[in-house]
Amino acid sequence: MLGAIIIASDQSRQVQGDRFIASPGSELASWAAVEVMGKASISRLADALWEVCDLVSVIATLRDRRNGAQSQSSLPDLADECFASYKRKGCDAVLIARCGAYFELDIATMLAFHQERGLEATRAFVDDGPLDVWIVDPSVVSGYSWVCSPSACARSAVYRSQAYANRLQSARDFRRLVLDGFHSRCHLRPEGAEIKPGIWVCEGALIERSARIVAPAFIGRNVQISDECLITRGSNVESDSHIHFGTAVENSSILPNTYVGIGLDLAHSIVDGRNLINLQHNVSLQITDPVVLRESAARGRGRKLRTDIESGMAMSSAE
Amino acid sequence: MLTSGPIVVMQVPEVLKVGEVHDFMQELGPLLESNRPRIVLDLSQVRSMESAGVEMLLHCLEEVLKRDGDLKLAALSPEAEVILELMRVSRVFETFLNCEDAIRSFHAIPAEAVPQNTPWYANVFNELGVVKQAS
């Protein structure tokens, strides 16, 4: 029986330089938790693991929606607890993924490699180095904290893979993942329906008649694209965002719940509410003018990421 | 404020919100009303600009053009560049890498070098004459 533990974090995103910085106390940068073409990388990973694993848990620290309070337990403690419960349930292998990167490993092949080697752990490597992905033997390994120890690397078998991986360490990596998805350089597929070749639109999206969407492009759930807008060159507008009248979005990512004002020219950028990262000028700034950029009023269920992580927790607790 | 002959160079403040725009216009206003104002705005310190700041720049350009002058932007910070591009006004302004280049651009065709009593096409025909002689 194979169990999987994904260590995620749901910290608030703060733009600083080219990265989203993790809030104090959380251990992972959060690009993997950002919605990309309808679904966060973490959720995509959880879906992929359900195909091959018997048990899947997503460990995340969630903030209380009303007062912002965080759960008292730390991620490693929760992961250790989950690991122990897998052991009790009789798992003979546990996959541990500290989710910072997007990767497309063949887990079944990695598991076969791990069993063949017979070591206490196997770590995945891609062309440019190790990933934070292990398969461990719960009868030998004490818990999640073991993979964080310095001796873990020395005592693990090395599973080399040619699979696609994107470390998602920066805004540039994030844009590269979007473009790789559009151009089929990886298995990441946009959610929703492909209404024309290279144009994906999710349910609830409202695109005015005079707006132009030029492939490849992705329009997420409940997105509103107003008249005379242009969305083009590999842009993705994520759920509950609104692109207002006459604005052009080119080679850019609009993250969920973002309002982009009237008559703007947005190019080579990632926008999250009032935060803008421009990859051409390599600059990040906060636009304080709400008529230009702001967080849009949530229409519906709020941020997808939160929903996905919560459902992940629900799945694990239902076991 | 630095001046170089009739060309005025002004440093734009780090933040251009409504309040800062008002203060800056207090200083810049009289210059806009002079005869043929020639102004260079140094945007190297700009870190944040609201739409009020962009409107101010457009207003200044309009005023100087009305009076047969010119306004040029110099040393744009990356933030200023991004905001001007975002608001689709970057092509409206003549921009320069630094203030020296912007000042020099005002002297590119010195008015005094062109004789006022000769027609504008005189230089073209002079050059044509040189070409004919060479052939």
Which residues of chain B from 46 to 75 reach within 8 Å of chain A, CB to CB? 47-48, 50-52
- Rounded distance between C-alpha atoms, residue A81 and residue A79, angstroms: 5
The pLDDT score that the predictor gives to residue A153 is 78
Q: Find chain A residues with C-beta within 8 A of B81's C-beta.
A: 281
The pLDDT score that the predictor gives to residue A162 is 95
> CA of A281: which chain B residue's CA is closest?
B78
8 Å CB contact of A278 and B47: no
8 Å CB contact of A266 and B86: yes
CB A41 within 8 A of CB A113: no
Burial class (CB in 10 A: 0-12, 13-18, 19+), A151: exposed
Question: What torsion do the CA atoms of A125, A127, A128, A132 make, to the nearest 10 degrees?
Answer: -20
The pLDDT score that the predictor gives to residue A63 is 52
Q: Which long-range contacts (CB under 8 A, 24 or more apart) does A168-172 make?
A: A168/A29, A168/A31, A168/A32, A168/A41, A168/A100, A168/A101, A168/A102, A169/A19, A169/A29, A169/A31, A169/A100, A170/A18, A170/A19, A170/A31, A171/A18, A171/A19, A171/A31, A171/A270, A171/A277, A171/A279, A171/A284, A172/A18, A172/A279
The pLDDT score that the predictor gives to residue A266 is 97
Residues in a beta bridge with A221 = none
The pLDDT score that the predictor gives to residue B70 is 94
The pLDDT score that the predictor gives to residue B104 is 93
Q: Hey, what are A256's tokens?
A: 């969920």
CB nearest A285 (choices: B51, B79, B85): B79
Cα dihedral sign for A72, A74, A79, A81? negative
CB A202 within 8 A of CB A223: yes
Q: Hey, what are A82's tokens?
A: 């989950």
B14 touches chain A (CB under 8 A): no
A240 phi, psi to nearest 5 deg: 60, 25
CB nearest B48 (choices: A266, A269, A288): A288
Q: Find chain A residues with C-beta within 8 A of B82's C-beta.
A: 269, 276, 278, 281, 283, 285
Map tokens 């873990």 to a residue.
A152
The pLDDT score that the predictor gives to residue A257 is 94
Q: What is the pLDDT along chain B (135 residues), one digit of tens a residue?
A: 444 447 999 999 999 999 999 999 999 999 998 889 999 999 999 999 999 999 999 999 999 999 999 999 999 999 999 999 999 999 999 999 999 999 999 887 655 555 566 666 655 555 555 545 554
Q: How far is B50 from chain A (nearest CA, A)?
A: 5
Condensed to tens digits (0 to 9), the pLDDT of residues A283-292 reads 999 998 999 9
> CA of B53: which chain A residue's CA is closest?
A289
CB nearest B88 (choices: A265, A282, A289): A265
What ipTM was assigned to the predicted interfaces of this complex?
0.80
Mean pLDDT by 10 residues, chain A (319 residues): 82 39 42 91 91 89 52 76 91 90 94 93 93 92 83 88 93 96 96 96 97 97 97 97 98 96 97 94 92 78 38 35
- Rounded distance between C-alpha atoms, residue A254 and residue A35, angstroms: 10
List all residues 6 or more positions away from A81 whose beta carbon is below 8 Å from its beta carbon: A73
